[in-house]
Amino acid sequence: MGSSHANAGNPQAERRVQSNSPQRDDYPSENELENRIKNLDKLVDSTHAALEQVSFSGKPCALDLVTDLRVKVKACHDLLRVAKLLRDPARKSMFSKIRDSLNELEDVVASHLGVRMN
């Protein structure tokens, strides 16, 4: 018999098993964060490619902004890789910080590039 059968009649044991499983509702999922990072990375790359093809007076400043965004997106990706290796509560804390960083990056993208992220 497996442990699920042994705990089926014992409500206290069932609660312990449930409380040991991670509560993913408290923090964003890995997939959500990965998708947001990928979307930002694609947007920054396509913006950089578009800027490289045109010529205008503010181009160096625009390229600096895109380069800065690229570095910050990469940093979020690296933080996520580290966070995946951690256990709770450090994992929850890192995921929350990454989510906050992504929110800020998406706000910057929305304000400077005129693109709204979902």
pLDDT tens digit string along 47-99? 999 999 998 898 898 899 999 999 999 999 999 999 999 999 999 999 999 99
Supply φ then ψ for residue 34, to 5 degrees.
-60, -45
Sequence ranges of the domains in the chain: 29-113
Please provide the average confidence, as pLDDT, over all residues in the chain: 81
Give pLDDT, residue 5.
44
pLDDT tens digit string along 7-45? 444 444 443 344 344 444 556 899 999 999 999 999 999
Looking at this protein, which amino acid is placed at residue 27? Y
- Rounded CA-CA distance 42/24 in Å is 27
- Cβ atoms of 8 and 79 within 8 Å: the answer is no
pLDDT band at 46 (very low <50, low <70, confident <90, very high): very high
